[in-house]
Chains A and B, each alone.
Chain A
Amino acid sequence: MDELLIQAVCGFGCGSSLLLRMKIDKVLKEEGITARTFCGDVGTAAATPCDVIFCSEEIAERLMSRAKVPVITVVNFNNPAEVKEKVMGYIQSLEKAD
């Protein structure tokens, strides 16, 4: 499989998405999963190639209809337990599909 591409999205693609990206990186590192993570803004995110999008519920509402990849919502970017649950849920769904 090619390297997994994970996009974290917020309004500007600079502040809170970067926070989310760092939390996702931490989970991936702990679990020994290799993937490339990067940030995007809500305007361009749907047009940027990736395998999955992580964002807030408010951003997800605006991306759902346009995104061609799974959109996973995180309520509290600052809660490591929630980020871990969402990331691992997605990774496990990939393993099942294989």
Chain B
Amino acid sequence: MNPVLDFIINQIFGQGAIFISLIALVGLVLQKKSVSDVIRGTFMTAIGYFVLTQGSSMIQGAVTDVGTAFSAIMNSPAPGESVDIGGQYGTQIGLVMLIGFFINLLVARFTKFKTVFLTGHMLYWFPFVFVAAGVDAGMKGAGLVIFAGIFTAIYMIVAPNLMYPLVKKVTGDDSFSLAHPTTPLSLVAAGVAKLVGDPSKSTEDIKFPKALNFCREVSIICSIVIFLTYLVMAGLLGANADAVLFNGTAPFVYFFNKTMTFGAGVTVLLLGVRMLIAEIVPAFTGFSEKLVPGAIPALDCPTLFPYGPNANVLGFLCSLAGSIVAILIFNPMGIFPGLVVPLAFTCFFEAGTAAIVANAYGGVRGCIIASFINGIVMVLLVGFGGYFFSNTIQNWMLVFGGNDFDLWGIIAGLVAKLFG
């Protein structure tokens, strides 16, 4: 290859941070921002990329030993080294994001499906998941980008259109939809709640104790879950715990360090995602406003939270209960390739949103039963997702999966394994 071209393609575009900050740069210039805003935004995007990578490796470091301990208990081979998708495939993720979004715009412009996918971090995370599904199945190069691009586009169009009637039912308003991996859980919630519930008895008529508000501190609950998971693993390992986990560290100090590193990793990861998308999403939004008249914005799930704050907390608690029961049943059966831990984030955001939908279709009863079932559904999704992501992002899935990331990741993984 021509050395100049080789330098541009493999060195410049091979570096994800450069490609993604170039997207931000172009977006800022197109929005006619001032020179200082353009410089600041471009730099912050590049820095955000590295912050994100650090956050991922902190989470990885905090949960890897859970996998090792589980393998020791089950006498199965320890999980191998996984590929760092966010760090090594940044350019591919950036390209996939552009392809997916522009196909979404074209479809919204020229067909009756008017939704435009605008949830910032999801614009990054779906390309991330589909690239991982392709890499895990052995794809690479242009094929990988086209494969992940098509899946991202289909997802960005299908999910908000499935959510649209549910959002309308909850809000009585047809001005927006959701762009969020809660979609399968919300559909389950609507179906179950309609069958078993009574919409006239709303969760919002219950007086909820204020003390339950701590449930909304989801990062803390998630850290507690990790703490308890290590505790259970150490208990199961018994005399082996020191050799497999502690290596001479006092057990409490070990648990404490792992738990807090995990919390710090989540905080850093979210900061990185925030910096990475802060300039790109407004540019995408500006584009869609110009190109698609009558677009229906598909937004992040907390836009529904004001329509059912009680349902949200109730859904969180019931789905957490459901997922703990499912974990206690399925993990020892050995049907999953790795360990599944309770999914606190998914219970709060995905199942919490689904619970608000359930309340609209079936009141308190609908909300409780549907959320419990959703807890089981998410464990099955993240468990079987392990067959498709064990070489790549399964540790990330253990924190954020159990929703469309796994459902669509499994579909994409099957397609990649069949045709790849």
Contacts and interface: CB of A to CB of B under 8 A. Distances in A.
A19 B270 contact: no
Contacts of B306: 56-58, 75-76
Interface in A20-37: 22, 25
B24 interface: no
Interface stretch (B83-91, B152-160, B244-252, B297-305): B297-305
A15 B349 CA distance: 12
Given A19-B303, A25-B282, A56-B302, A13 B176 contact: no
A76 B303 CA distance: 7
A97 to B, nearest CB: 27
Interface of B: 118-122, 175-176, 180, 213, 216-219, 267, 270-271, 273-274, 277-278, 281-282, 285, 297, 299-303, 305-306, 309, 348-349
A7 B299 CA distance: 19
A5 B120 CA distance: 21
Q: How large is the interface on A (under 10, 10 to 19, 20 to 34, 35 or more residues)?
A: 20 to 34
What are the 9 closest A-B residue pairs judged by CB atoms, nearest first? A15-B300, A14-B121, A16-B302, A16-B300, A18-B120, A15-B119, A13-B274, A14-B274, A14-B120
Interface of A: 10-16, 18-19, 22, 25, 38-39, 41, 43-44, 56-58, 61-62, 75-78
A15 B302 contact: yes
Given A15-B121, A15-B300, A62-B213, 10 more contacts: A10-B300, A11-B218, A11-B348, A16-B302, A18-B277, A39-B274, A43-B267, A56-B306, A76-B306, A78-B297
A39 B121 CA distance: 12
A78 B213 CA distance: 25
A48 B305 CA distance: 24
